[in-house]
Amino acid sequence: MVNCCDLVSEKNEPVPLKSISVELQVRDHVASVSSCLQYVNEEERPLEAVFVFPLPADAAVCHFSARIGEQEIVAEVQDKQSARDQYDDAVSSGQQAFLLEESEESSDVFKLSVGCLSPGQKASITIVYIIELSVQADDALRFCLPAVLNPRYTPAVSAAGVPEVSSASVIPYTLSLSVEVRSSDRISKLESSCPLDPLEFLDAQHTHATVNLTAGHRFDKDVELFLYYENSHQPSAVVEAGASAAPSGSLMGDPALMISLYPEFPADVMSSLASRGEFIFVVDRSGSMDCKMHHGNDAQMRIESARDTLLLLLKSLPMGCYFNIYGFGSHFESFFPQSVVYSEDTMEEALKRVKSMSADMGGTEILQPLKHIYSQPCYPDHPRQLFIFTDGEVWNTKEVLDLVKRHVYSHRCFSFGIGEGASTALITGMAREGSGHAQFITGTDRMQPKVMQSLRFALQPAVDNISVDWTVPEGVKVDMLSSSINTLFQGQRALIYAQIKGQSSGKKEGAVTVKYKLKDQPVTNQLQFTLQPTEDTGLTIHRLAARSVIRSLELEERAEGADAENVRKRIVELSVQAGVSSAHTAFIGINKDHNQTVKGPLLQRRVPVAHMLQMSMMQCQPMGMCAMALQMDFDSTMHYSMASSNSMIESDDESDQKAEPLKDPVLQLVSLQKATGCWELNASLAAVFGKTEDEVTNQKTAQVDGSVWATVLALIWLYAFKSDQQVEWQFVAMKAASWVRSQKPDSLSQCVCDGNALLGCQVTEDMLGI
């Protein structure tokens, strides 16, 4: 009988994991994360605990150890199959053993096995990983500690022999988090999606600070931190000394260099956004998209937010471009057989179909729609831009990434992870391999501003002929470790890892020069750096560089015609040498000094992890639908499979579903705009302004056309009352201003003056761009 005060799983089994404490140390834009997991066997028999959990896809796991009593066992990186065999042998013989392995199918899922805990015994497990912090639209650096692991959809999986993954809507263990930030730049602020104690600065310059997560946090959702520096676009270079024990000439033995650049493009070039392109929007319509964006009472369903975003995107496209919209689930469909020219007619037809879009297409199979898109011929002089919206619950992540990479020269891919638990491996991977940009929409984030930032990236002139040149003293050579830079975006960080070989007896300075062309205009960014290693950084840069090389090799291994066995061997060698995780290695630790072997049959306990799908099931799932099995085949990550091959969620009256009226006034206004950029003078437009049609019409100057008057009013209203949402309506306003200028109206100044009087504001012609 389980005591009601004990931690138990949903099956009423005691949970051996009691707490997780995390120490986060940030140096400029790199974070080191140390997680300590406390296990206790409160049962009367020996125990094996298994914990499947998410980590950021780009994390380099570099340390794994266990402490039992006063004894610490530090794990080693070994070939995965060898590590598994050693673990199984140790556990079956009653020895204590610890295994940490990365999923071979998705780099953001890990499995921790803690074997042979005696009754009453405690074990403290420490996992350390390092990661680059991503740059957000507002220049914040984002760190995410993922708690939610969504099941990965696979169309057909047999449950036989597949161990079950335990999940829970209330996680029965606690999380504590302490954060320390050190920076060469002044820290402005630190914000979070979870309650924090006050930020405490430890120096007068505000370059060193600490903060803690407020006590009592239940680890049932992702913990996001947003760090702001005063000079966020400051380029930097850090040289790190190699490991003394590593052989000279090896990656770990030579000094490593990390270059951080923020390309700034000429203002005159950036002011002219592209008017050409093929824009393909690919929207996840699987059943999981009918879950809420977050747990708040006012949360939209994911599919609703996607519909609103598509409205904004369709209204923001330039006249004369090409576009299409795909929906996918267990199958896929497109609005048009092939991309069509953007016009009033095609835009209105697409909007009608967007309004009826539902999360009614079953599971998440993204591979087939992508194959279909890539099979379509591109339009000359219209670069293909792919926008993919998904909650990231797919099972064949690496197959998808390989496909995107094979077509990188014919398109750019912008990806959006919707909701907590979206696979970072999938979302960041598609953007990386598709030379685009990734965004995550979590918590109370609005989807629209993040998507519109990516649209600005897509519309900015393409950067061509990117080259990286090194200037170093004689006797010194620099080898690039990062993949070639094939895309640059205004204000977005570009990271370069390199290995410094050889020595110079004289000059200790070097320089890196990044050259590229922007609209046929040559641009040069240069950064000077010292060859002298900086203070001890604990091989952080070496390990991040090794992780970068390993990821490139894993892609190479899966490429057609590759010598897979030889590449795999290189991956294992580098992973072992650098002490970082890979798909082909695992951390293994065995308590060989444990004199008294554990006897008796071994219980197995699976530690619950939060699932957004499971937590939202009551809202997502109509009664009477086919049964769903949550299961884990670790070699192909977590899956959910359906007893029926049909869609996961089917509405009995899906054809009759009506989209809810738009609640957001900005979206109401945008929905009324024509493809050319103008508005018509009518009652619907007047209602957005809080006026009657007569009130708006009577104020119009006689010689001013009704559409010009309506468009000027819409612009005035946006700039006067919705300036805080400008990132969302910026392209709508640019189209409108361009249309007004093309009309060459008389008395435009008087028109603006009358509009200000009607709406009760003071906006100038210059502000409106007309």
Q: Tell me the per-residue pLDDT of 331-358, one tens digit each, with 9 for 90 and over.
A: 999 999 999 999 999 999 999 999 999 9
CATH of the domain at 32: 2.60.40
One domain, residues 185 and 43:
yes
d(CA 90, CA 113): 12
Give the bridge partners for 122, in sequence order: 40
Spell out where 80-136 has E strands: 97-102, 109-117, 122-132, 134-135
Q: Give the C-alpha distances (Å, rounded to integers) separating 203 from 28, 29, 399.
A: 16, 19, 49
Domain boundary among 380, 410, 438: 438
- Which residues, 6+ apart, have CB-to-CB distance to 478 below 8 Å? 257, 470, 472, 498, 499, 500, 501, 510
Q: What pLDDT, on a 0 to 100 scale, did the predictor assign at position 537?
A: 62
Q: Tell me the per-residue pLDDT of 379-419, one tens digit each, with 9 for 90 and over.
A: 888 889 999 999 876 778 889 999 999 998 889 999 999 98
% of the chain surpassing 90 pLDDT: 46
Q: Tell me the per-residue pLDDT of 241-262, one tens digit each, with 9 for 90 and over.
A: 998 888 888 999 999 999 988 8
d(CA 453, CA 49): 44
One domain, residues 110 and 204:
yes
Is the pLDDT reported for residue 605 higher than 60? Answer: no
Q: Tell me the per-residue pLDDT of 661-703, one tens digit each, with 9 for 90 and over.
A: 557 899 999 999 999 999 999 999 999 999 999 999 998 887 8
Domain boundary among 438, 469, 491: 438
Give a yes or no: residue 222 inside a domain. yes
One domain, residues 27 and 98:
yes
Q: What pLDDT, on a 0 to 100 scale, did the predictor assign at position 157?
A: 40
pTM score = 0.78
- Which residues, 6+ apart, have CB-to-CB distance to 761 below 8 Å? 716, 720, 721
Domain boundary among 438, 463, 490: 438
One domain, residues 42 and 115:
yes
Give a yes or no: residue 476 inside a domain. no
- Which residues, 6+ apart, have CB-to-CB distance to 385 below 8 Å? 277, 278, 279, 280, 411, 412, 414, 458
Q: What pLDDT, on a 0 to 100 scale, did the predictor assign at position 521?
A: 82
d(CA 249, CA 252): 8
Q: What pLDDT, on a 0 to 100 scale, did the predictor assign at position 607?
A: 56
DSSP-assigned letters across all residues of 584-622: TEEEEEE-TT--S---SPPEEEEPPBB-HHHHTHHHH--
Longest dimension (CA), the chain: 98
User: Is the Cβ–Cβ distance between 126 and 22 less than 8 Å?
Assistant: no
Is the pLDDT reported for residue 48 higher than 90? Answer: no
How many domains are contained in the chain?
3
Q: What pLDDT, on a 0 to 100 scale, did the predictor assign at position 650?
A: 35
H or E stretch at 518: strand 509-518
Phi, psi of 359 (to 5 degrees): -85, 70
Q: What pLDDT, on a 0 to 100 scale, did the predictor assign at position 363?
A: 84
d(CA 151, CA 525): 44
Residue 760, burial from CB neighbour count under 10 angstroms (0-12, 13-18, 19+): exposed
d(CA 467, CA 453): 26
Reported as a pLDDT band with limits 50, 70 and 90, residue 161 is very low
Kindly state the tokens that stand for 273: 């956004």
Separation of CA 341 from chain center: 31
Average pLDDT rounded to a whole number, residues 134-143: 86
One domain, residues 194 and 328:
no
Q: Give the C-alpha distances (Å, rounded to integers) separating 709 from 66, 689, 706, 726, 761.
A: 72, 13, 5, 21, 16
Q: Tell me the per-residue pLDDT of 457-509, one tens digit each, with 9 for 90 and over.
A: 888 877 778 899 999 998 899 999 988 887 777 777 888 999 999 887 778 89
- Which residues, 6+ apart, have CB-to-CB distance to 166 below 8 Å? 9, 10, 11, 606, 607, 608, 609
Other beta carbons less than 10 A from residue 251's beta carbon: 21
Q: What pLDDT, on a 0 to 100 scale, did the predictor assign at position 46?
A: 84
Q: Cα-Cα-Cα-Cα dihedral of 102, 108, 109, 114, to 10°?
A: 60
One domain, residues 309 and 204:
no
Other beta carbons less than 10 A from residue 741's beta carbon: 12
Domain of residue 291, residue span = 276-438
Other beta carbons less than 10 A from residue 476's beta carbon: 17
Give a yes or no: residue 679 inside a domain. yes
Give a yes or no: residue 568 inside a domain. no
Give a yes or no: residue 468 inside a domain. no
Helix, strand or coil for residue 549? Answer: helix
Give a yes or no: residue 638 inside a domain. no
457: nearest Cα among 260, 326, 263, 306: 263
Q: What pLDDT, on a 0 to 100 scale, did the predictor assign at position 116?
A: 82
One domain, residues 224 and 284:
no
d(CA 37, CA 21): 7
Phi, psi of 247 (to 5 degrees): -65, 140
Residue 129, burial from CB neighbour count under 10 angstroms (0-12, 13-18, 19+): buried
Q: What pLDDT, on a 0 to 100 scale, did the predictor assign at position 271?
A: 65
487-506 burial by CB neighbour count: b if 16+ within 10 A, else e? bbbbbbbbbbbbbbbeeeee
d(CA 669, CA 733): 11
d(CA 342, CA 596): 75
One domain, residues 672 and 589:
no
Give a yes or no: residue 470 inside a domain. no
Give a yes or no: residue 53 inside a domain. yes
Q: Cα-Cα-Cα-Cα dihedral of 414, 419, 420, 423, to 10°?
A: -30
Sheet containing 256-261: order of strands? 236-240, 256-261, 494-502, 476-480
Q: What pLDDT, on a 0 to 100 scale, did the predictor assign at position 492?
A: 77
One domain, residues 323 and 184:
no
One domain, residues 603 and 750:
no
Q: What pLDDT, on a 0 to 100 scale, did the predictor assign at position 754?
A: 93
* Residue whose structure tokens are 């469909």: 333
d(CA 400, CA 426): 8
Separation of CA 478 from chain center: 31
Q: Cα-Cα-Cα-Cα dihedral of 190, 193, 197, 199, to 10°?
A: 0
- Which residues, 6+ apart, have CB-to-CB distance to 669 below 8 Å? 685, 688, 714, 717, 718
One domain, residues 222 and 316:
no
Lowest mean pLDDT among 163-167, 307-311, 324-328, 618-622: 618-622
Lowest mean pLDDT among 181-190, 229-238, 249-258, 753-762: 229-238
d(CA 605, CA 9): 9
Q: What pLDDT, on a 0 to 100 scale, did the predictor assign at position 626?
A: 31
Identify the residue with better confidence: 18 or 76.
Answer: 76
Strands 109-117 and 97-102: antiparallel
293: nearest Cα among 395, 222, 232, 227: 222
Helix, strand or coil for residue 739? Answer: helix
Q: Tell me the per-residue pLDDT of 712-728, one tens digit each, with 9 for 90 and over.
A: 999 999 999 999 999 99
d(CA 167, CA 606): 9
One domain, residues 148 and 292:
no
CATH of the domain at 313: 3.40.50.410
Q: Give the C-alpha distances (Å, rounded to integers) separating 473 from 385, 509, 533.
A: 42, 7, 16
